[in-house]
Each structure stands twice: as structure tokens, then as C-alpha cells.
Structure 1
Amino acid sequence: MVRSLEHLAQEAPALGASIAFLTPDAFRTVPMPTYREIRLAFAMPWAVRRVVDEVKPDFIHIATEGPIGLSMRYVCLSDGHTFTTSYHTRFPEYLSARMPVPERWCYAAVRRFHNAGAATMVSSPTLERDLAERGFRNLVRWSRGVNADLFCPREERPLSFPGPVFLYVGRVSVEKNVEAFLALDLPGTKVVVGDGPARAALEARYPEARFLGVKTGQELADVYASADVFVFPSVTDTFGIVLLEALASGLPIAAFPVMGPLDVVGDSGTGVLDNDLRAAALAALDIPSEICRAHALTFNWQASARQFLDNIRRVQTSPQTDLAA
């Protein structure tokens, strides 16, 4: 989500817009229970309203359902600001993976949050269908992109691991299902990039795997360029930008046939989607990197930013119109 917003802000000026962010950095924060890496902001409505009055934005978009988003939603509804939202994270599934909370309860709350806006932006057709069936309204598409200059195949591998190299990049937490990857009987080396509350336990349980911690920029691109297959074990992601980064780096995808991989890989031939993740990982070794790279190039951040701004402009023109019609 953060990467999507960063690229949106970078591309917006060339498309005639500028974007200001209201983030937890503007407030006192506390660690989120069970996930201390994420900070929750004490963002009271009066403090959020003060920022809105100072900035005087032409439009307001609420990126997440967290404390800032809740207060901004309250301010928008109270003061008559038209706003949109985006659905990035399947919080009901994440919450039920950590606590005995029925998904339907959480979905009811999340649906109420988003349906108050003029439109909810979603990243893929599969997510759009899923949310529509759950009663979400005014769903519009906002796809994603990839930096194909940074993430690209290399003739020589920057890092040396015994091959073949199977790679996972993302949060190391229960909802990402990383253990389903680590438990696979695969040749070569399993590499994990990322951090999270499950890392210490998984690192102790699977000492043969290489845990590299958080990598960004060129360091992350080097890891992608040193692997053979990207394994994506999550069954709760809405899209997965890491899938595009892997494909741009020439890596085929091995994943379950679920939301995210279905939308990115689909019938492109750039990956193997199978309920048997080991079989998918081994079969993906035979996929040419050129196919993966070519498919990744169909996604770009400028098109993503233009789609986002077009959604905003349509809402500004007709805030009461069902944009999904």
C-alpha cells in the first residue's frame, strides 16, 4: 500500500495534480497489539479537521481503515466533504488468523466504512467481484505498476546461493502463510526477504532457509535477480506488488490459485498456480524469464496514477453517481 501511494505521489505532478499525505508521523503513536512493527496513531477528529482546514484540499482520499482513516471519515461526513476510499488489505481475514473473530463481523464494519464514500478503489477484478458479493458499493478499479528499470533480469547474479533459489518477499507474519513455503521439500535454497512478528520462530524452525531481513531499492532488486522462482504462499492478499517486481526481474511465480496471483498471473503463462505449492514451485522452473519480463511491462505506475486521478475527477464531476455502473 505504501509503495503504491509513494509512486502515485511521484507520478501525479506530470498529470496535473499534487498530493499531500496525512500519516501517523503527524501524531503520537502506539504499537499495534500482536504486531508491534505497525504504529497506530492517536488521531482525534479535531486534529484531523485542523489539518484539512490548513491544507484546503480539492479532494480527500482515505487510504486505510485505521485511526486516521476513521477520524477523516468522520470529518468528511460531518463537514460535507466528498471522499473516496481504497481497499488494500483483507483485514477480516487477517484478524481471524490472529483472533477468534468471525469474518462476517469484521466485514460488516469494513463495509460500513467504505460504503460511506463516493467510491471504493480496488486493485483487481477478483477483489471487485468478492467485495460486490459482500455488499460493497461503487467499486472502481485502481491497478498497480512496477519499476521495470530497477527490477530487471541480470546476466550475472549479484548474490550467490546454491541453486535453484526459491524466493519469498513480504511481511513475515501468520496471515502471509510463509510457513507453507518454508515447509516445502525443495532442492537448492529458500530465501526470505522481510521482517515481522513470525520471523524469529520461523528462523529457529527452518535454519536451512536464508532470512535476509528487510531489503529495499537496489538491494532488493539484487535479491530478485539472484533467484529462480518467486514463491507466493499468501491466500489473503488483494494484489501483491511483489509479484510484479518478481516478474519484472524475470522470475516465474509459484502460488496458490487465489486472489492476487489469479489477477497478476492469470493465463499469461508467467507462473504456475496450484493448490500443491511444491508442484507449482518445481514446474515454474521451466518458465522462460523473457515471458515473465514481457508480462510485467504491461503494468506501469504512470497508468496506475492516471487511473487513480480519473476516478477522483469522475467523483468530483458526479459525486452521487454509481461509478461502477
Structure 2
Amino acid sequence: MKILIVTDAWHPQVNGVVRTLTTTRDELRQLGHEVEVIAPDRFRTVPMPTYPEIRLALKPGARLRRMIDEIAPDAIHIATEGPLGLAARRYCLRRRIPFTTAYHTRFPEYVRDRFPIPLRLSYALVRRFHAPASAVMVATPSIENDLVDRGFRNIKRWSRGVDTDLFRPREKDFLPFPRPIFMYVGRVAVEKNIEAFLSLDLPGTKVVVGGGPQLDDLKAKYPAAQFVGPKHGEELARHYAAGDVFVFPSRTDTFGLVLLEALASGVPVAAYPVPGPLDVLAGSDVAVLDEDLRKAALAALEIPGDKCRRHALTFSWSASAAQFLNNLRPFRGHPALDPVPVLDPAPQADETKKAS
């Protein structure tokens, strides 16, 4: 099958959405599918307001239409709600072509953290974006339940995996800082709530791996912390493994791929008991979830690394790609005349269940 993924999040961005899409593409190709990605790197771009590291495609409509026509996909997946996602959605609706979408990030909360826009307005716009989709893919039960309560429909599960060959336990002496090392990996941006970590009274060293719009401000405000910048591949994996506890202060992530990467590296997790950590970690005995993040971080020091590794091994990118594939809505010729049946999706949660 020829699959088209349209996304506003792509390389050189470094985040969980890009890693998820890249790995899914690679997994699908290994299964024999042809996968094309239309991303901002094919267009003129402008910096995203308040986050210049992210580039947004400028007036992509006409060119994107030509690109889709040339690719002639069998299935279209729209990964993001940005300019490219909006243009692809418009293309599909005008041609009565079915498509799927994904809810990767809590976009309304991210907007609220930057601008005084009510959540109900932002959610109304996001709900309208996803409403025509044959499937809205989400990573966890908590996010699914929350979206159902907010009026979203056609929700299907799309979990995540982890590269356990790259992210694995290694020697701890890679970083020369006083121990214990409490580590954060991810975007250095306001929605990640990093100050909740940096402001903690903890022994040893706090290490921040990543870049973003808050980096300079946080470096100036917390000079005792070690900000090592963004890392990739083997170097990133070595940083993960050098930590003693991975601290995840975000309250808005829909999954938290970094949680699995830390666990695969043999590093226990401290986090708040919120969606994402609750779905991935609750009851696993490889993390401490507590509203007192300092208490959680100190308690996590007692968790053996081998337990963390065993938990991470239960998450597979091949299973994630299979879920994605089953959620697609393929079409041939005119979709209204020649539909291809949708494969059996992962069961949906009871819509009456409320998000915690």
C-alpha cells in the first residue's frame, strides 16, 4: 500500500512526534509498504511565533495539492493541526477522500500557556479539525477518555514503542557530575514545566538535555544545573544511561516517549500522577508518581535498573506500526464508489468513562 503522511513536525525538530513518525515510517517500509512524508522541509517556511526553532510551511495549499496528486496515495494520514495539516484536510474534504488524523500533543493547553485564549475555544477548533477524520489516533486511554468527554469521536488507539537496541543500560561514568544525577530530556519550553524540576532541592546534579525557547532564561535562572544542549543517536542514549533518575515534570504530554527511552536505559522515573505517566507507568514498580515531585525523585533512587529495562521491553515499535496500519482508511479510485474495508481497530474505551 502507498501511504502518505502529512506533518508539520519533522526534522530537524527533535521531539517525540518526529521520532514517532520517523520510526513508524521505517517500520511500515520494512513491512513492504511505500511511505511518503510531506513535511515543512519541502516548502518555504516561517518561524512559529514564540518557538522559532519550529518552522511552519508558508501558503502550502497549491503546491501540496500537486504533490498529493503526483504521489497518488492509497491512504492519507494527517499527523498535525498546522498549516500543512489544514491544507491536506481541505484537499481530502474537497475530493471526498477519507483520511485519518492523530492527537499527538495537547495543543489547546500549549496555546493557553502562551496566550490568554480560553481552553474551550481552542478545543472547539481542534475538535472541528479532527471531526471529519475516519479515525483520530491517540496514544493512551486517559487521553482517549478526555477527548471523548470533550466531544471527539472515531477515536482509535495508537500506542508507542522504544528502540531497545539504542537505548540500553551503559556505564554511568559518561557524565563527570556529582551524583546522584537527576535528568530531564526533551524540549526546553514552557509547556514542559521544567522549572518544577529545576526548583527542587535535590542532592547531586540536575542535568537538562535538549534545546528550546526557554533555554537561555533557565540557564541564567538555574546556574547550578547542567544544560548540555540537544543530543542525538548514540550520544543521546549515553546521556540517558548516565542518569540515576529521570524526572518528567510535564503535566500536558499525551504519552511521553522519553519515559520509555529512560526505562530502556535502566533509569527509573519520577513524575506527576497525570495522563501519560499514569498510562505508561502506573502499577509498574519502575516509577514513582507523586504530586510532591521531590519526594518522587528521591524515592525513585531505590528502584533497580533491571526492572526498568524489563518494563521497557514490553513496548514494541512493530506493534505500534501494526496499530497505525489497522487504523488507516485506504481508498482506491473514487472513495464513494470503491472503498476498501477498514481493518479491525483496537477496541475503543467506554465513552462513558471519565478521565481522571
Into which bin does the TM-score normalised by the smaller protein fall? over 0.9
* 1:167–1:227 contact (8 Å) kept in structure 2: yes
Give the alignment partner of residue 303 of structure 1, picking from 314, 319, 322: 319
Distance 1:283 1:149 in 2: 28
Give the alignment partner of residue 157 of structure 2, picking from 117, 141, 159: 141
Correspondences of 1:128-207 after superposition (within 5 Å): 128-207=144-223
Distance 2:100 2:272 in 1: 31
Distance 1:95 1:313 in 2: 30
Question: Match for residue 21 of structure 2?
Answer: 5
Distance 1:157 1:151 in 2: 16
Distance 2:59 2:183 in 1: 38
Give the alignment partner of residue 272 of structure 2, picking from 232, 256, 278: 256
Distance 1:43 1:301 in 2: 34
Question: Match for residue 72 of structure 1?
Answer: 88
Distance 1:157 1:19 in 2: 41
Question: Match for residue 140 of structure 2?
Answer: 124
Please list the CA deviations of residues 67-118 of structure 1 after superposition, one character each: whole Å capped at 9, or x if unmatched: 0000000000001111000000101000001110001100000001011110
Distance 1:276 1:224 in 2: 23
Give the deviation of 1:45 after TM superposition: 2.4
Give the deviation of 1:9 after TM superposition: 1.2
Please list the CA deviations of residues 108-139 of structure 1 after superposition, one character each: whole Å capped at 9, or x if unmatched: 00001011110100001111111111111010
Please list the CA deviations of residues 227-275 of structure 1 after superposition, one character each: whole Å capped at 9, or x if unmatched: 1000000001000110000000011110000011111111101100000
Question: Match for residue 33 of structure 2?
Answer: 17
Q: Secondary structure at the match of 1:2?
A: helix
* 1:123–1:143 contact (8 Å) kept in structure 2: yes
Give the deviation of 1:160 after TM superposition: 2.0
Distance 2:92 2:275 in 1: 31
Q: Percent identity?
A: 60
Question: Match for residue 47 of structure 1?
Answer: 63
Give the deviation of 1:42 after TM superposition: 1.3
Question: Match for residue 98 of structure 1?
Answer: 114
Question: Match for residue 269 of structure 1?
Answer: 285
Tell me, yes or no, if structure 1 residue 28 matches structure 2 residue 44. Answer: yes
Q: Secondary structure at the match of 1:21?
A: strand
* 1:138–1:323 contact (8 Å) kept in structure 2: no
**Residue segments in structure 1 that go unaligned for 5+ positions in a row:** none
Tell me, yes or no, if structure 1 residue 243 matches structure 2 residue 259. Answer: yes
Please list the CA deviations of residues 254-310 of structure 1 after superposition, one character each: whole Å capped at 9, or x if unmatched: 000001111111110110000000000000000111110000000111111111111
Give the deviation of 1:313 after TM superposition: 5.6
Relative to structure 1, is the Cα distance of residues 324 and 65 closer, same or farther in structure 2, using a 3 angstrom cutoff?
farther
Distance 1:203 1:14 in 2: 42
* 2:75–2:330 contact (8 Å) kept in structure 1: no
Q: Which runs of 4+ in 1 moved over 6 A?
A: none
Distance 1:233 1:153 in 2: 23
* 2:75–2:329 contact (8 Å) kept in structure 1: no
Give the alignment partner of residue 250 of structure 2, picking from 234, 241, 248: 234
Relative to structure 1, is the Cα distance of residues 301 and 250 closer, same or farther in structure 2, using a 3 angstrom cutoff?
same
What amino acid is the match of 2:40?
Answer: P
Tell me, yes or no, if structure 1 residue 111 matches structure 2 residue 113. Answer: no
Relative to structure 1, is the Cα distance of residues 263 and 102 closer, same or farther in structure 2, using a 3 angstrom cutoff?
same
Q: How many residues align?
A: 325
Give the deviation of 1:158 after TM superposition: 2.0
Structure with the higher helix share, 1 or 2: 1
Distance 1:242 1:29 in 2: 28
Q: Secondary structure at the match of 2:206?
A: strand
Give the deviation of 1:189 after TM superposition: 0.2
* 2:271–2:296 contact (8 Å) kept in structure 1: yes
**Residue segments in structure 2 that go unaligned for 5+ positions in a row:** 1-16, 332-338, 349-356
Give the alignment partner of residue 285 of structure 1, picking from 301, 307, 319: 301
Give the deviation of 1:323 after TM superposition: 7.9
Relative to structure 1, is the Cα distance of residues 322 and 214 closer, same or farther in structure 2, using a 3 angstrom cutoff?
closer
What amino acid is the match of 2:190?
Answer: V
Distance 1:203 1:222 in 2: 22
Please list the CA deviations of residues 180-224 of structure 1 after superposition, one character each: whole Å capped at 9, or x if unmatched: 000000000000001111111110010000000000101111111
